[in-house]
Amino acid sequence: MLTIQLISAFVLASCQQALAKSCSGFTAIDRPNGPTYTSIDGPRVISKGANCPATQNCTVPHGGYVTAGRTLNISDPSYADSVFKTISSVVELEFVETKTYPVSNGTMGFENGTSGYVIFTPYTICTTGRLSDCDAGELNGELVEACTLDLRSEGRLEGLTSPVITVGDDLETLTCNPANTTQAKNGNYSSSCTGSEEEADHTGAASALGGMSLLLLSGSLLVALVGF
């Protein structure tokens, strides 16, 4: 049994060698504050919809689980692993793989007569530069941006928790918090959910949500999900 495992390990190792896909050079573009800068990952909805009556202010609880990780906009994603290592060796950044983090528990106030929901926008630390010495010639000279999450405070995900005030946006009718589902906890967040808070744990289906902000949000989420 052990022998077979060893052999498979060797075969796997040699296959990876044969398919070596790496760029051993990276030249960061320097900015006023050095080669790194702060940026943001796509926003995630972390509350259910708030609908305050015209005569009363209200609050909505927010929190849940956000899955995020390093990102790289390289044209050939099969080079990503190696390129992250190369960039790490040049710029002082550790590219943490995608993980699920609990985020900002609390309550957000909304004024009477308004509706909305709460979003969490993870902060990232990025660098931009050119690749060189790549196994595939066409990658040489490619300008790429590599980002990692801001985990400076004890491995907690740093980010901005903010309200989105809406007028006639379907997201305000969210009956549950999409970041607070079993699915989100397991790393499979979806920007919508259906049913009550309790039922949400068992449903994964996206409801028929529309509206401009959801479109924008999906765009950001797409960008966020092109991580590795």
Ligand X SMILES: *[C@@H]1O[C@H](CO)[C@@H](O)[C@H](O)[C@H]1NC(C)=O
Which parts of this chain interact with ligand X (CB under 6 A)? 54-57, 61-64, 73, 75, 102-105, 111-113, 128, 142-145, 177, 180, 183, 188, 190, 197-198, 204
Q: Residue 3 or residue 55: which is nearer to ligand X going by CB? A: 55
Q: Residue 77 or residue 210: which is nearer to ligand X going by CB? A: 77
CB of 179 to ligand X, least distance (A): 7
CB of 9 to ligand X, least distance (A): 27
Residue 15 — φ and ψ, nearest 5°? -60, -45
Q: Which residues contact 95 (CB under 8 A, 6 or more apart)?
A: 70, 84, 87, 88, 146, 148
From CA 128, how far away is CA 34, in angstroms rounded? 11
Q: Residue 14 or residue 57: which is nearer to ligand X going by CB? A: 57
Torsion of CA 74, 30, 151, 49, to 10 degrees: -70
- Give bridge partners of residue 21 from the DSSP assignment: none
CB of 211 to ligand X, least distance (A): 19
Tokens of 51: 């609908």
Q: Residue 102 or residue 219: which is nearer to ligand X going by CB? A: 102
Neighbour count for residue 75 (Cβ, 10 Å) = 11
CB of 200 to ligand X, least distance (A): 7
Q: Residue 8 or residue 105: which is nearer to ligand X going by CB? A: 105
Closest residue (Cβ) to ligand X? 113
